[in-house]
Each structure stands twice: as structure tokens, then as C-alpha cells.
Amino acid sequence: MTERERGLTLMGLLVVLLVFGAIALLSMRMMPAIVEYWQIKKALAAIVKDPTAKESPAALRKAFERHAVVSDIRSISAHDLEIRQEQGRWVVSFAYEKRVPLAGNVSLLFDFQGSMRED
């Protein structure tokens, strides 16, 4: 009695490689947008802790501009920030969309938003 051989066929291997290739393509295209979002959040966290930036909305915007240059933030500018006071503390919010082209007329649309509150 002979046992039937088991294993991955050539067609199965190609399907697995195609799936991993698609996942790798999506990851490589998405990561710059996600990293920039993290940089924006990090910049907002830094400016709400900065005692010199807490003086006025203009000072907060100027501090964000400095962080944006250093962190190479291009999706939003200081004018896109919504700055308000709640219970005597500054709250800085942002919202923006980022379109990432994949292939041809297919693209991913990210809807990023966040806010940071002064401690």
C-alpha cells in the first residue's frame, strides 16, 4: 500500500506568493501615510507641553510649523489646526484625508483625525 504524496503544488505556491505580494504592496504604500500621522500626533504632543507655545493660538501654530519642518510633515499645515480652549486648557485638533495611489485608478483613502489636550 503506497501513501499519497502531500505538499504544496506549483499552483498553490503561486497563489501564496500572490497573496503575500499583495500584502507587501499594500504595506509599502500605506506606511508613509501612517508614519506621517504618527509624526503629526508626536508634534502636537510636543507643542501642548511647550510652555512658550501655550501663550496663544499663534504661538501654538508657530511651534507646529517648526516641528513640521523637522519631521517633514506635508499633509497638513499650521493653518489646518483647530485650536480652542476648554476649561482654561488648550486643545489642538486636526483632520485630513490622504489618498495613496495603488495602481492605475485604484487608490486607498485614509481619513486621519486626532486631537491633543494640554496637561
Asked, for residue 37, whether it belongs to a domain, the answer is yes
What pLDDT is stored for residue 60 in this prediction? 93
- Domain presence at residue 38: yes
66 forms beta bridges with none
Question: Phi-psi region for residue 88, left (φ > 0), alpha (ψ -120 to 50) or beta?
Answer: left
Supply the pLDDT for residue 103: 85
Number of domains in the chain: 1
Cell of 80: 489646518
d(CA 89, CA 99): 33
Q: Domain range for residue 38? A: 31-117
pLDDT in tens, 10-44: 898 999 999 999 999 899 999 999 999 999 999 99
Residue 62 scores a pLDDT above 70: yes
Q: Is residue 8 part of a domain?
A: no
User: Is the residue at 113 inside a domain?
Assistant: yes
Looking up cell 504524496 gives 5
| 11 assigned to some structural domain | no
From the number of C-beta atoms within 10 Å of its C-beta (0-12, 13-18, 19+), residue 47 rates as: buried
Rounded to the nearest 10 degrees, the angle between the axes of helix 57-71 and helix 10-49 is 140
